[in-house]
Amino acid sequence: MRPCGCPKKGFTLIELLVVAVILAVLAAVVVPQFADSSSSAKEAALRAELASLRAAIDLYRQQHGAYPGNVDPSSPTACDAAVPAVSTREDAVRSQLVYFSNGAGQTCSTSSGGQFRFGPYLKTRKLPTNPVNGQSSLRVIGAADLNLVGDGEAAGGWKYDRFTGRIIANDTARDAAGVRYDRY
Contacts of 16 (CB under 8 A, 6+ apart): none
Q: How many domains does the chain have?
A: 1
Contacts of 59 (CB under 8 A, 6+ apart): 121
| More confident: 179 or 64 | 64
**What's 70's DSSP letter?**
-
Contacts of 134 (CB under 8 A, 6+ apart): 156
Give the pLDDT of residue 41: 84
Q: Is the pLDDT of residue 55 over 50?
A: yes
| More confident: 174 or 10 | 10
Arithmetic mean of pLDDT, 111-132: 85
Global pTM reads: 0.71
Q: Where are the beta strands (DSSP E) in the chain?
A: 100-101, 107-108, 138-141, 158-161, 167-169
Residue 135 located in a structural domain: yes
Residue 28 located in a structural domain: no
Residue 18 located in a structural domain: no
Q: What is the number of alpha carbons within 13 Å of residue 33 lying toward its C-beta?
A: 5
Residue 89 located in a structural domain: yes
Q: What is the number of alpha carbons within 13 Å of residue 168 lying toward its C-beta?
A: 23
Give the separation between CA 78 and CA 75, rounded to whole angstroms: 9
* Amino acid residing at 76: P
Residue 100 located in a structural domain: yes
| More confident: 63 or 35 | 63
* Amino acid residing at 6: C
Residue 25 located in a structural domain: no
Q: Is the pLDDT of residue 156 over 70?
A: yes
Residue 35 located in a structural domain: no
Residue 26 located in a structural domain: no
Q: Is the pLDDT of residue 72 over 60?
A: yes
Q: Is the pLDDT of residue 129 over 90?
A: no
Contacts of 182 (CB under 8 A, 6+ apart): 50, 148, 166, 167, 168
The average confidence (pLDDT) of the chain is: 80
Our measurement of the distance from residue 175's CA atom to the centroid of its chain's CA atoms, rounded to an integer in Å, reads: 15
What is the extent of the structural domain holding 157?
43-183
Q: Is the pLDDT of residue 184 over 50?
A: no
Residue positions counted in the chain: 184
Where does the pLDDT of residue 155 fall: very low under 50, low under 70, confident under 90, or very high at 90 and above? low
